[in-house]
Structure 1
Amino acid sequence: MIQGFRKLFQSRIGVVLTLGFVALIALAFASADITGGSFGGIGGGERVATVGDQRISTSTYRETLNGAFERARQDNPQLTMQEFLDSGARDGVLDNMVERMAVYAFALDNDLRIGDSLIGSELKDIPAFQGPDGKFSQEMYKAALQQRGISEKLLREDLEQGLAARMTLIPAQIGTAMPEKIAQQYARLLNETRHGSVALIPSAVFAKDVKVTDAILQKYLADNRARYLLPERRTVRYAIIDSTGIGDVQATDAEIAARYAADRALYIGKEARRVTQLVLPTEAAAKAVLAEMADPSRMAAVASSKGLATTQVTGDDRGDLAAKTSPAVTQAVYATAQGRIAGPVRGPLGWYLLRVDAITRTNDRPLSAVRDQIAAAVTAEKRTQALSDRAAKAEEDLNGGATLAEVAKAFGAEVKTTSPLLANGAPFGNGAAPDAAVLRVLSAAFAMEEGGDAQIAASADGKAYILFAPGKITPAAPPPLAQIKPYLERDYRLQEGSKQAEVAADKVLAAILKGKSPAEAMKLIANAVPPVDEVNTSRQALMGSGRPVPPALALMFTMAKGSTKKLEAPSNLGWLIVDLDDIETKAIPANDPMVMATRRQLGPQIGGELGEQLTQAIIADVGVKRNDTAIKAVVDQLTGNR
């Protein structure tokens, strides 16, 4: 139902852009590995679809498919691009992009514009762009974009489209509610009780008579190879280069003095102020309230008597307070003594009254007071730089043809080899868990060929570097027949037994349809089978059990009264005969709490349906043309078929 509407908000650049129904929440740079660059030479033109006057380029489509593929591989590291595309991603990803672009084109056609300031405010709220202090960091912003190969222009376009979609679609969902009569009918269904029976015809009762030979098992294994496949595993050869061998590195007096001079602003004394503020809509209202505050300590009480509330604001210095309020407000606050009220003064939200609650002054800190602190910081930086220089030399040696062992020896590092590992980092069999540094580079190691050149990467904390190369690679393959013969024989017998069980199920079903009871019909089976299970349960009991609903009961609650159906049990375990005798539905008054609960639970779905219908109407209105030749060319290049 609303799944398609939710898909609209998936970002087209491989990062997750969650709009929700209220606000743009976050942008996460942790789920895709996207590289920039052109995508020329694609047959069929440079666009895969035209949506209104907007185009979806082949490069954008490729990047989005790559991003979605990398996210899928986090859950299934063995997934190939071909399998991913065959699962529906080829069309599903493009459908999502078309929906998003269509709403954006519709917004533009109806003169909806997203200003740079709004985009900027959204950027500031994205955690990936915030520094340790929780504030927007230009350095973090640039680093995150560079890491993912995403241009600022592309990111801003992505945010613009998402905001346009939100502003277009959300109004269609506000205030929606499920009608009481419909909610009452749904509530009656929840209270419905079904009476019938379920009979099981197990494959096992026929499996014992199935003929089995090694030749049959060989063919069965070949036909079901993927089921018994052992995943690819490989060892990783690695060595850690850390600060060992760097020697004694210390900050010099000259370096300390230079750093102190460069960071002089950090050591200048500051005057912090904590204020309590009250914001009113007009200057006249602010003056009237101020006239009632003969005692500044009564600010909160006076505000409360008028249905208003005060808030506290702390500024570490003039600049900090100005950023939180305005320059005019800051000037008034710093011109007022402690305990007094500043204002009225106009600010960004109205007219401000501000009581100066506390003034905290700090003196200038001379070099002698912070020398040890600066020395420690400079020394740490010099050691980090020295380690970085060692890593650069190691990388240079590797690029020059040196082996992992040769480079490790030159830097006094020990070469180690992991036990066989799976792509997700888990040890194969009873092997030992890998070092954390190896886990960090494991995806890269699994992308390398056996005997490939060693690579180097930094540790998570930047305090070491790891040299790594693939060791022994064992391709994915089933184990030898002798090793799994008992399991093959069991599974083959169940498979063939299931075929005979289905024949028996058809016989039982035919007998029931001719008037026999399920218990009487089951007696037609020569083999010993379990007794028929009587079922008397309500839909509410199933939903409230907290456990998955058994397939037979799920089927029973979709059947018509007096009907009988057969159902295959999972894993070739047999066949089920589901018989529904009666449906008991009790009347529920309109004021029943279940009706209200149903309205609350299903009400949001109405909004979702309206959003989905609006989206489809927009797509029909703006028009969509797909370039199948270009789509195929992108897919072929991703799968290596061109």
Structure 2
Amino acid sequence: MITFFRNIFASKIGLFLTMCFVALIAIAFASADVTGSGAFGGVTGSGTAAQIGESKLSTSELSQSVNNAFRAEQRQNTGLDLKTYVEGGGFDSILDRLINSFVIADFGRKYGMTAGKRLVDGEIASIPSFQGADGQFSEENFRRALQQQGIKEQQLRDDFTRNLLADQLLTVSGFGASVPQKLVTPYASLLLEARQGQIAIVPSAAFVENVKPADAALAAYYSQNGSRYTIPERRSISYSLFSKDRFNETIKPTEKEIEGQYNLDKARYAASETRNIDQVILPTEAAAQALADKVADGMSIGAAADSVGLSVAEVGSVSKGALAGTASQAVADAVFTAASGGVSQPAQSALGWHIAKVNEVQNVAAQSLEQVRAQIVAELSREKIDQALAELTVTMEDEFAAGSSLADIAQAEELKIESTPMLLANGQNPDDPNYRPIPEMQRILPVAFSLEEDSDPQVVEIIPGQQYAIMDVSKITAAAPPPLKSIEQIVARDYILEEGSKKAKVAADKIAEQISGGATLSKAVADAGVRLPAVESVRSSRADLARQSQQGQVPPPLTLMFSMAEGTAKTLKAPQNQGWFVVNLNNIDPGDASEREDLLAATRGQFKQVFGNEYTEQFINAMRADVGVEKNDDALTTLKNQLVGRN
């Protein structure tokens, strides 16, 4: 759901405001009844997680938002489970963001600021998911989206209102932040700083013993590191696909409907005349007549218009009624009186006096019912099929809400039910790396993984107005590590590498100690008593480091080198127990950006953004103090325990 409304809460002032408005729209989350204490109440939908000014943040809304944000994170990190997310700060982060959004809205209302209904309507109408094929707001799509996500319209409107008030208040809070030059120059100079050093790797493989680990040692290692092998939550999905094609042979317009449509559109099929014209509009009748005379004498209308400093409008083919609507009846009468190839007499509209060159006259004969029958049948069939498909999806949604199962609806509509194996949220099957889900799963999976275990089956739109699916989550397997026996070889490999890493650390520490005593890195590596890879010399600047960081390619030893003192050596563990790095910093070449206006300007701009975000944060803190925030610690603790499965 967060992905669905991602653009709704985008900040106009940068990262800080974005942080304040993530996870405001919640998906259905059914929390168990837990009795609370004190004036706040329990952890049910009527409980209060925090009192913010005149508003209350309910425990239900908080739990919905946490669950929603977790699902969004899980789509990016399929190995994430709810307990890890909550205990890793996700719960507290969402709570703080929600409180901030309530604070801003309450502060705005307190001092007379509003976000009117028309403004909220405009924001809702701009969401692509609520728009139809014509790009306009679709009430049907809007209602369907709310129903699929389990959101009440008022909840959505409240979230938009809070966000709009935040835009009004926070946009100016960091505007105009200034930065002194004495602060800018040293930081800009850091980008020009260069460092030269050496890096050695002490691989774990150099210390691995070719001996099978003892069963007890392997079991103890697996027990301590089970989270490393956890398979994320998996779900099996039952579904049936259907499209508008199912109605092609069963829905046909009746003869009465065909005749009625023909009579309704009789003017469309009547005989008609269109004229292809070029026209010029002049300010006076005399000027128009003079121009008409020039064209009548053989001058082209374009040349005649150029001679008086005007240009020709190429109107193209137009009917008399259409021309009367865009110009005037007098203009239409004059144009449709002129002969083909001739020029019309001057006629007046609200814009001035028109003359037109009639390039071509096109006459279309009247069409009988039999001549246009196929066209009418196709149009009526398309309309009736679209209506039948829309009514079918609404009926299915109503039946699911009333308690019907997926099997009930599939049987009634003669649909075939298919089932997936146990899939991850990204569609992968851990038991079969070669498994590939059907393309329609790209639309089904996000809905399936947003549902709770006891949720009703859902209708999912695959191709708007064309194809749909009905689906239900038939089985959920919680995130858990597999049995040791099934991955024993992998665990044994990791255990052996970790044991080798411990010995590699001892060797790396000894090398670093020798460097501190005056030895070179090459000499210390040679004296390590085990064959190690050659030492690598490196030289880089902070600007190079920044560029590599943007590409996500900064080697950890290089990052460490830029946090060390000159003439020192440090050790760093390699990823996945592959070994240890020894980093020796030989020389620091300080930079000077005092003459680099490009760097100074860029650094100044970055500081302005940082300062602006800081001003915004302080403004929010001041608003919190003004409206008052009181957290219900007992209810929050109980809710957090619920989410992670603790009693």
* TM-score normalised to structure 1 length: 0.70
Out of 375, 381, 390, which is 1:379 matched to? Answer: 381
Alignment of 1:254-403 (within 5 A): 254-256=256-258, 368=369, 372-383=374-385
Equivalent residues of 1:169, 1:611 under 8 A apart:
yes
Shift of 1:379: 2.6
Q: In structure 2, give the amino acid aligned to 1:20.
A: S
C-alpha separation in 1, matches of 2:268 and 2:135: 19
User: How big is each residue's C-alpha offset from its partner over 1:243-300, in whole Å with a ceiling of 9 and x where there is no partner?
Assistant: 669854311133345667899999999x9xxxxxxxxxxxxxxxxxx99xx99x9xxx
- 2:560 paired with 1:555: yes
C-alpha separation in 1, matches of 2:525 and 2:49: 58
Higher deviation after alignment, 382-391 or 73-82: 382-391
Alignment of 1:527-542 (within 5 A): 527-542=530-545
Q: In structure 1, give the amino acid aligned to 2:570.
A: K
Aligned to 1:96: 97
Equivalent residues of 1:129, 1:137 under 8 A apart:
yes
Aligned to 1:608: 613
**3-state SS, counterpart of residue 576 of structure 1:** strand
Aligned to 1:491: 494
C-alpha separation in 1, matches of 2:55 and 2:400: 49
**3-state SS, counterpart of residue 529 of structure 1:** coil
Q: In structure 2, give the amino acid aligned to 1:424.
A: N
**3-state SS, counterpart of residue 50 of structure 1:** strand
| Structure whose CA Rg is larger | 2
Structure 1: gaps spanning 5 or more residues: 1-9, 272-289, 298-315, 317-330, 345-352
Q: Percent same amino acid among aligned pairs?
A: 33
Aligned to 2:208: 207
C-alpha separation in 1, matches of 2:161 and 2:450: 35
C-alpha separation in 2, matches of 1:619 and 1:610: 14
Shift of 1:627: 0.8
**3-state SS, counterpart of residue 172 of structure 2:** helix
Higher deviation after alignment, 534-543 or 552-561: 534-543
Higher deviation after alignment, 456-465 or 127-136: 456-465
Equivalent residues of 1:564, 1:580 under 8 A apart:
yes
User: How big is each residue's C-alpha offset from its partner over 1:321-365, in whole Å with a ceiling of 9 and x where there is no partner?
Assistant: xxxxxxxxxx99879979999989xxxxxxxx9x9999xxxx9x9
Alignment of 1:509-588 (within 5 A): 509-545=512-548, 546=551, 548-588=553-593
Equivalent residues of 2:406, 2:471 under 8 A apart:
no
User: How big is each residue's C-alpha offset from its partner over 1:182-214, in whole Å with a ceiling of 9 and x where there is no partner?
Assistant: 332222111101133323222222223777234
C-alpha separation in 2, matches of 1:137 and 1:239: 26
Equivalent residues of 1:12, 1:97 under 8 A apart:
no
C-alpha separation in 2, matches of 1:366 and 1:482: 79
User: How big is each residue's C-alpha offset from its partner over 1:440-468, in whole Å with a ceiling of 9 and x where there is no partner?
Assistant: 54567779999x99967466246666576
Shift of 1:496: 1.0
Aligned to 1:424: 426
Calculate the aligned-residue CA RMSD, in Å.
5.8
- 2:55 paired with 1:64: no
User: How big is each residue's C-alpha offset from its partner over 1:500-542, in whole Å with a ceiling of 9 and x where there is no partner?
Assistant: 2222333333333344443444455322233433333221233
Alignment of 1:29-48 (within 5 A): 34-35=27-28, 43=36, 44-45=40-41, 46-48=47-49
- 2:158 paired with 1:165: no
Out of 616, 621, 628, which is 1:623 matched to? Answer: 628
1:567–1:240 distance in 2 versus 1, CA, 3 Å? closer
Aligned to 2:298: none
**3-state SS, counterpart of residue 171 of structure 2:** helix
C-alpha separation in 2, matches of 1:111 and 1:356: 58
C-alpha separation in 1, matches of 2:404 and 2:120: 48
- 2:20 paired with 1:17: no
Higher deviation after alignment, 137-146 or 368-377: 368-377
Shift of 1:434: 3.2
User: How big is each residue's C-alpha offset from its partner over 1:2-44, in whole Å with a ceiling of 9 and x where there is no partner?
Assistant: xxxxxxxx9999765234327999xx99997723999986524
Q: How many residue pairs end up in the alignment?
A: 582
Shift of 1:578: 2.3
Higher deviation after alignment, 256-265 or 539-548: 256-265
C-alpha separation in 2, matches of 1:100 and 1:148: 22
Aligned to 2:253: 251
Equivalent residues of 1:104, 1:161 under 8 A apart:
yes
C-alpha separation in 2, matches of 1:494 and 1:531: 21
**3-state SS, counterpart of residue 171 of structure 1:** coil
1:134–1:239 distance in 2 versus 1, CA, 3 Å? closer
Aligned to 1:327: none
